[in-house]
Chains A and B, each alone.
Chain A
Amino acid sequence: MAEIHNYTINFGPQHPAAHGVLRLILEMDGETVVRADPHVGLLHRATEKLAESKPFNQSIGYMDRLDYVSMMCNEHGYVMAIEKLLGAEVPLRAQYIRVMFDEITRILNHLMWIGTHGLDIGAMTMFLYAFREREDLMDMYEAVSGARMHATYYRVGGVARDLPEVMPRYERSKWHDEDDVKRMNANREGSLLDFIHDFTERFPACVDEYETLLTENRIWRQRTVGIGTVSPERALQLGFTGPMLRGSGVEWDLRKKQPYEVYDRLDFDIPVGVNGDCYDRYLVRIEEMRQANRIIRQCVDWLRDNPGPVMVDDHKIAAPPREAMKAGMEGLIHHFKLFSEGYQVPEGEAYAAVEHPKGEFGIYLLSDGANKPYRLKIRAPGFAHLSAMDEMVRGHMLADVVAVIGTQDIVFGEIDR
């Protein structure tokens, strides 16, 4: 009798479902996966090492590029760690702005996730629906920071600038006549807050739209129910965080358990799953989008009523206003020192974690009192999730591997760092 061997296939790094540069070595028995071996490192950019060589503020931009679909949340973890060491007190308005943009980022991330997860399982339309809303969120990023993705908006001691009073508008072009432009600018007439407010009004209906396509869809359920099941105990042992952990039924959310910024003043719920399979994680993330929408709404209302500073009034760590720099010697010195040498952070270590859309994103910072970190360690949630890949797909079929990659919401920027 012929000897039957399992065969291995090389899934990625150039694979349409590998979410970037994931390389999986799959040992297959027919269509069934016997072993999955994820390889990492193809997107390694030495972020941690780079951070050791430059003043603290100059690394904020690198944080955007870690998990490049939830940019501001990465910045948040980083600036929080520095603030912890400095003992800086962030103005309340800046905290609200940060929370609001954290939640905008959460929606941004989950929209990307639902789009690619849908695409992986073959629901092509999902992707374009999700990107329609993402466009508006990107515009919010752009309005506040000038960049659609890599914002570098959070700064140590606050945020870079206050929310703009006017929303950038479309202009007439070869393709859009006066009427088009008027229609497209309809919700951009007021300030950024008005635009965000308008978005929070529209967004729940959009989520309903996604749910119409997927939640009760038989094929979607057949493809996700019972796939990649993780028990709550195992999820904890594997170091899962975020929706991956909550999908298994563990109610753990840093925003509730270790509230940072103003989360303890806001009203929102934490959705948890029951079975810990792809479908439950899908439901958890869908509900998180709705909850994020709720939080954004509360922040918008508060921010409208409460103007104030958005940066600490300490020019050792915050840049002085432009006028002060141009007109006064002291301002000029502050400006020069800040943008060349930076600031010294007292000796010590700090760990700051935020509830990132993907899980617990932590920054462990070790300072020796210089203007650069002595060591920076990034705790990326995706890394722990990816390491469970083998366990989650073993015994499933090839098509389920794709579903599991989708449900883990992997982004290689943060895993490879």
Chain B
Amino acid sequence: MIELAYTVTAWMPGWMQAIAIILMKISLLMMPLLLGVAYLTFAERKIIGYMQVRVGPNRVGPRGWLQPIADSLKLMFKEIVIPSSANRFLFLLSPLLAFAPALAAWAVIPFDDHLVIADINAGLLYVLAITSLGVYGIILAGWASNSKYAFLGAIRSGAQMVSYEIAMGFALVGVIMAAGSLNLGQIVQAQATGLGLFSWFWLPLLPLFVIYFISGVAETNRAPFDVAEGESEIVAGFHVDYSGMAFAVFFLAEYANMILIAALASLLFLGGWLSPFDGLPVLGPLFDWVPGIVWMLAKMSFFLLLFLWLRATFPRYRYDQIMRLGWKVFIPLTLVWIMVTGVLVVGEVGPWFGHGEG
């Protein structure tokens, strides 16, 4: 695949070839990602629909399969209304500020062994840094709209994302300690100790795993932590004044972030592309032929299903209750479990930490 790309672009000068290859890689990632976002919205409506004893969209195309296309077409042709008292520049800039980090973070996400755009050493650090930038888009959107509802939503979401980043960061510290690396590929490799799904980090780091995922839900402003949008309180929160494509970009960012969190959770805690039966008797060889990317996508889908399931089941937290949960429950818990992880790593407790790292 990559050789083919090199032969096709062989006529270019060296620098141009490098750029062309990178662009190819990016588009190879972006196309499926954006398609994934589009069909995640469809899956959400269908799955929540069935959970709520209704059928969901089934009118556009066979069984509703073209619904996301119709939606995006509609949004593209709608007027982008800019409120007269809004700050035009920031108003239009903020969707991009929200969307760009959501896509940029994907650069370091591996889908299989070495199937990654940028295999950098500080991959996890990069993800943390980039995803925290997303909050700027939201805060600016709330401020630039010059509306009280939007501003309230922006303040809420700013506070919420900043607080949960801490719990999330601590959860990641545990993973880094356990794996002894910041590179996502190596973190996954560190989980291949030959016991199938029991050798992954979710078992020794169970509390961190749970906290990471819940913080991820809070990070992406999804139910039950969706106070930033708070449909019934502040109508739509920070994007209440957005319409058409400007709104769609926020929407895309939210769903790209969801997929990102799902990808990270499967990489860090569920062994990424590793087969759950790897190294087990009988089952191991039986599933050997399945390519790693399938496992990766299956694990991501599982987390995405959890996102939707939570949305269909839980009422919404109140703003101060979310803060309490983040600061008074999650942060102390993660701190304690970092200590425990330290002990486990130093004590080389097998099968996870027995191979001489840390």
Contact = CB atoms under 8 A, between A and B. Distances in A.
B156 to A, nearest CB: 8
Contacts of B312: 124-125
A129 B48 CA distance: 12
Interface string A104-141: 00000000000000111111110011001000000000
Contacts of A400: 318
B231 interface: yes
A129 B315 contact: no
B231 A118 contact: no
A399 B51 CA distance: 26
Contact of B235 (A7, A15, A129, A217): A15
Contacts of B156: 31
B319 A399 contact: yes
Given A15-B235, A399-B227, A128 B53 contact: yes
Given A398-B234, A399-B230, A402-B232, A222 B152 contact: no
Contacts of A223: 315-318, 321
A17 interface: yes
Given A9-B148, A9-B149, A124-B52, A118 B315 contact: yes
Contact of A219 (B152, B233, B316): B316
Contact residues on B (Cβ < 8 Å of other chain), bracket: 20 to 34
A190 interface: no
Contacts, number: 83
A128 B54 contact: yes
Contacts of A402: 232-233
Interface string A193-229: 0000000000000000000011001011011000000
Contacts of B3: none
Contact of B315 (A7, A132, A219, A398): A219
Nearest to A227: B318
Nearest to A118: B315
Contact of B223 (A119, A122, A222): A122
A16 interface: yes
A222 B318 contact: yes
Given A31-B319, A132-B53, A399-B318, A122 B313 contact: no
Contacts of B311: 124
B52 A129 contact: yes
B289 interface: no
A132 B54 CA distance: 9
A120 B234 contact: no
A397 interface: yes
Contacts of A121: 232, 315-316
Chain A, interface residues (CB within 8 Å), range: 20 to 34
B52 A7 contact: no
Nearest to A213: B313
Contacts of B216: none
B324 to A, nearest CB: 9
Given A7-B148, A213-B313, A399-B319, A129 B233 contact: no
A223 B149 CA distance: 21
A16 B320 CA distance: 22
Contacts of B152: 9, 31, 398
Contacts of A214: 315
Interface string B315-351: 1111111000000000000000000000000000000
Given A120-B232, A213-B313, A397 B318 contact: yes
Given A16-B231, A31-B152, A125-B52, 14 more contacts: A9-B148, A31-B319, A122-B231, A122-B314, A124-B312, A125-B313, A129-B52, A129-B53, A219-B316, A223-B315, A223-B316, A223-B318, A223-B321, A397-B318
7 contacts: A31-B156, A31-B320, A124-B48, A222-B317, A223-B321, A398-B233, A399-B227
Pick the 6 closest A-B CB pairs, nearest first: A122-B316, A17-B232, A128-B52, A123-B315, A122-B315, A121-B315
